[in-house]
Homo-oligomer: A and B are copies of this chain.
Amino acid sequence: MRKLRHQKRDNSASNRGQMAVVAILTAARDVLVEEGYPRLTMRNVATRAGITVGNLSYYYANKRDLMHDLVEAVLQGYFEDFEKITDNLEISPEERFEEMVRFIIGDLATKETTGFFPALWALANHDAFAAQEMAHIYQMERDSLAKVIGQLRPDLGKKERDLLALFISASMEGHTMFVGYRRDKASAIAEVTNIAVYSFLTLVKSIEARSIRGLKPVGKSAGKRLAS
């Protein structure tokens, strides 16, 4: 995760308040990342932002609004990141694809991302807003991926490209808990990234629509299993 993008709503002259909002959002993210969601309290955020609870409530009347802005700020950061890669036409589609994979896996190993996203996933299970924002950000990621997949495999239909993007995106996210910041297998990140690039590229270049639809290629073991 690189930086928070706070969209100011009103263009008031005062930038003192604007700075406070950035401090609050950064503090909130840091508390969430370093201490976890249950400790993301208004008091902790205020303390870390160097203000009082009362003043925090001046900027965010309630926790929900704060969470809202926090998630949106994180989102906006990724939106800008993905755009840069997708719009880089100086390199080939295959290179762009590899770059996306390396960017995403590289990002998920940062302290912020390793801390933030699992919290968001857990939240999304019981919080409609978190679920919606999560859907939004991953739709963006999949769209970027599907675009490049289309350039690599123009023969595939939109549905197949979207499913491949879904599979690849979800697979990458899964590595957060293993090669993420200070996680168990963090030392294997280089190798895992290499495998990811190889695996996803091979997948995209070789798969046939029937493998997705479930008609196993000839010689597969499925028949035998059904017989048993």
Q: Which A residues are within 8 Å of any B CB, using their own CB?
A: 34-39, 90-92, 94-95, 98-99, 114-115, 118-119, 121-127, 131, 134-135, 138, 163-164, 166-167, 169-179, 183-185, 188, 190-192, 194-196, 198-200, 202-203, 206-207, 211-214, 221, 224-225, 228
Contact = CB atoms under 8 A, between A and B. Distances in A.
Given A122-B122, A125-B36, A170-B179, A212 B199 contact: no
Nearest to A207: B198
A221 B36 contact: no
Nearest to A126: B36
Copies of this chain, complex-wide, total 4
Nearest to A173: B174
Given A125-B115, A203-B199, A190 B170 contact: no
A148 to B, nearest CB: 13
B126 A122 contact: no
Contacts of A211: 194-195, 198
Nearest to A198: B211
A90 B194 CA distance: 34
Nearest to A199: B203
A104 to B, nearest CB: 11
A38 B37 CA distance: 8
Nearest to A217: B198
Nearest to A34: B126
Contact of A178 (B37, B166, B188): B166
A185 B138 CA distance: 11
Contacts of A214: 190-191, 194
B167 A192 contact: yes
27 contacts: A36-B123, A37-B122, A91-B225, A94-B221, A95-B225, A98-B221, A118-B121, A118-B122, A118-B125, A124-B183, A134-B177, A138-B178, A163-B191, A166-B192, A167-B199, A170-B171, A170-B174, A170-B178, A171-B174, A171-B175, A172-B174, A195-B211, A195-B212, A198-B207, A198-B212, A199-B200, A202-B206
Contacts of A135: 184
A50 to B, nearest CB: 18
Contacts of A190: 214
